[in-house]
């Protein structure tokens, strides 16, 4: 390996490229170099030793931002092992700009959750004692049982260090911890993921001016707090809400939002006039005691038209059957005020063909999406045959609407019931440019492709792919 004249630039590029392509830790590289040096020294004596020492010194004396770029590419456990290389390297790993504490940081022999946290705390203590400069990213994603006093203190420390990305992923939750108020004073925070905490905004909260990504998972938060938080993130682009507790209404008012994913229980939802929304994914979970509508927004019942009536820019939409039932105002398809002219990809999840309201809402969206190109339907296993649903689909078969841009259809989990076949016929009969239809049967043998070829269809060039789970 030859480096460029002048030395350092070529060496840096070589190290970074070597680590990136071969996923080899810096410690492994230096150990390999050390072994080679021992062999060379047997032949060339002190000259080789001197050259080797020069190479190590050149790496050690690189600018810190360059070393940081190299070390953050390694698992933290490997980065910490570089402390044995020399006295200069003893505390370098504690000054990184990014810390990812995951299961790789804990020895496999330690299984007790409390003991695993002790190992995490040892790392945290060393960083707090020796770190100089900013910390841009912290991620906790280890199976452990945190001491919440330790975690609270660590989060305060990160805030003081100007944290930009704070990610707390799943760990073993015994009780939820109260998020310290210091988090809400982070002026540089751009990415926030929280798990297993209680989120209350301090009275001094003025907003997150830089926050672009927000994810809340298993978080206790009230409807008003969530609304206030979202409203006061002026550059927020991506919002993910998962398994939120005690949430009655999801009110999202943010004109800058581009992506929303909700997988949670709630009683009402309003997406406001988020005109930049390009991707929406909503899966509604049942609340204890069933779904109710005790908190209609401004006295209005939640409907398909009220939720999506003004969101014309969506190009990807994913909705669950339970949410579709929730939105259906009646047993007949409705027309939106303005069609989804930008919608290119639609996913209908956990569709129950025995649900009249769910199928009616699904057809409403399909008929309001003139430029749809890609349709994915996952079917919830159900052997019941609903005559009202059958009548609805048969009626749509006889109508004169067409999916003039639909090219790809995938339907997963069908049982081969009559109502499922009627739905397939509906899609085939109204899709003149359809290129492929993939059908995945839930159980039993896959459907014969020769049989599918006999089904009446608008597109003569459609290719059928039949599979079985």
Q: Tell me the per-residue pLDDT of 67-97, one tens digit each, with 9 for 90 and over.
A: 898 899 989 998 998 888 778 889 999 999 9
Give the separation between CA 445 and CA 454, rounded to whole angstroms: 18
pLDDT for 174 equals 62
The mean per-residue pLDDT over the stretch 89-106 comes to 92
The mean per-residue pLDDT over the stretch 47-74 comes to 72
The mean per-residue pLDDT over the stretch 114-137 comes to 94
pLDDT for 21 equals 44
Please tell me the least confidently modeled range out of 85-94, 272-281, 296-305, 308-317: 296-305
Q: Which of 43-57, 105-119, 300-314 has the highest mean pLDDT?
A: 105-119
The mean per-residue pLDDT over the stretch 254-260 comes to 96
pLDDT for 113 equals 86
The mean per-residue pLDDT over the stretch 145-158 comes to 89
Across-strand partners of 197?
177
The domain spans of the chain are 8-92
Pairing of strands 316-320, 249-251: unpaired
Whether 383 shows a pLDDT value over 80: the answer reads no
The mean per-residue pLDDT over the stretch 319-324 comes to 94
pLDDT for 48 equals 53
pLDDT for 55 equals 57
pLDDT for 289 equals 54
Give the separation between CA 98 and CA 68, rounded to whole angstroms: 9
Whether 318 shows a pLDDT value over 90: the answer reads yes
Q: Which contiguous run of DSSP H or E holds residue 69? A: helix 64-71
Under the banding of pLDDT at 50, 70 and 90, the label for residue 288 is: low
Give the separation between CA 1 and CA 78, rounded to whole angstroms: 24
- pLDDT tens figures, 191-246: 999 998 999 999 999 999 999 999 999 999 999 999 999 999 999 999 999 999 87
Can you give the C-alpha Rg of the chain in angstroms? 29
User: Does residue 332 or residue 321 have the better pLDDT?
Assistant: 321
Please tell me the least confidently modeled range out of 47-51, 57-61, 231-235, 236-240: 47-51
Give the separation between CA 449 and CA 453, rounded to whole angstroms: 6
Whether 8 shows a pLDDT value over 80: the answer reads no
Instruction: Please list, residue by residue across 39-62, b when 16 or more beta carbons sit within 10 angstroms of its beta carbon and e when fewer do.
Output: eeeeeeeeebeeebeebbeebeeb
Q: In 180-224, where do the E strands start and end?
A: 191-195, 197-198, 213-217
Whether 405 shows a pLDDT value over 80: the answer reads yes
Under the banding of pLDDT at 50, 70 and 90, the label for residue 282 is: very high
Q: In 368-462, where do the E strands start and end?
A: 374-379, 408-414, 436-441
pLDDT for 199 equals 94
Whether 6 shows a pLDDT value over 70: the answer reads no
């Amino acid at each position: 390996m030859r480096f460029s004249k002048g030395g350092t630039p070529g060496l840096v590029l070589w190290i970074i490229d070597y680590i990136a392509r071969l996923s080899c830790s810096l410690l492994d590289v230096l150990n390999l170099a050390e072994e080679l040096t021992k062999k060379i020294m047997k032949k060339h004596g002190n000259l080789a030793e001197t050259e080797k020492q020069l190479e190590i010194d050149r790496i050690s004396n690189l600018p810190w931002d360059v070393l940081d770029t190299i070390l953050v590419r390694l698992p933290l456990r490997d980065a910490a092992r570089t402390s044995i290389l020399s006295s200069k390297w003893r505390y370098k790993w504690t000054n990184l700009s990014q810390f990812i504490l995951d299961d790789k940081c804990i020895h496999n022999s330690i299984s007790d959750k409390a003991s695993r946290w002790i190992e995490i705390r040892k790392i945290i203590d060393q960083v707090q004692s020796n770190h100089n400069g900013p910390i841009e990213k912290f991620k906790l994603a280890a199976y452990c049982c945190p001491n919440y006093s330790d975690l609270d203190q660590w989060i305060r420390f990160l805030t003081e260090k100007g944290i930009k990305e704070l990610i707390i992923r799943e760990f073993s939750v015994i009780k939820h911890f109260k998020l310290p108020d210091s988090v809400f004073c982070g002026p540089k925070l751009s990415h926030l993921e929280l798990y297993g905490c209680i989120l209350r905004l301090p009275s001094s909260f003025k907003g997150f001016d830089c926050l672009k990504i927000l994810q809340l998972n298993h978080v206790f938060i009230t409807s008003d707090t969530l609304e206030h938080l979202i409203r006061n993130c002026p550059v927020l682009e991506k919002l993910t809400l998962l398994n939120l507790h005690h949430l009655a209404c999801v009110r999202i008012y943010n004109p800058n939002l581009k992506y929303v994913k909700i997988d949670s229980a709630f009683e009402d939802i309003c997406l406001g006039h988020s005109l930049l929304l390009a991707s929406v994914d909503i899966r509604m979970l049942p609340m204890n005691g069933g779904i109710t509508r005790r908190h209609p927004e401004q006295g209005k019942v939640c409907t398909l038209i009220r939720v999506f009536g003004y969101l014309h820019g969506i190009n990807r939409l994913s909705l669950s059957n339970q949410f579709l039932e929730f939105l259906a105002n009646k047993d007949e398809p409705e027309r939106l005020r303005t069609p989804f002219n930008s919608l290119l990809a639609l996913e209908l999840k956990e569709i129950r063909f025995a649900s009249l309201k769910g199928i009616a809402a699904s057809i409403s969206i399909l008929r309001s999406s003139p430029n749809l190109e890609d349709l994915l339907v996952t079917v919830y296993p159900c052997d019941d045959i609903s005559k009202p649903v059958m009548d609805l689909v048969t009626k749509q078969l006889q109508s004169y609407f067409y999916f003039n841009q639909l090219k790809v259809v995938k339907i997963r989990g069908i049982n081969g019931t009559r109502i499922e076949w009627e739905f397939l016929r509906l899609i085939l009969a109204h899709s003149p440019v359809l290129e492929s239809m993939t059908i995945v049967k839930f159980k039993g043998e896959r459907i014969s492709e020769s049989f599918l070829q006999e089904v009446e269809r608008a597109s003569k060039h459609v290719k059928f792919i039949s599979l079985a789970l």
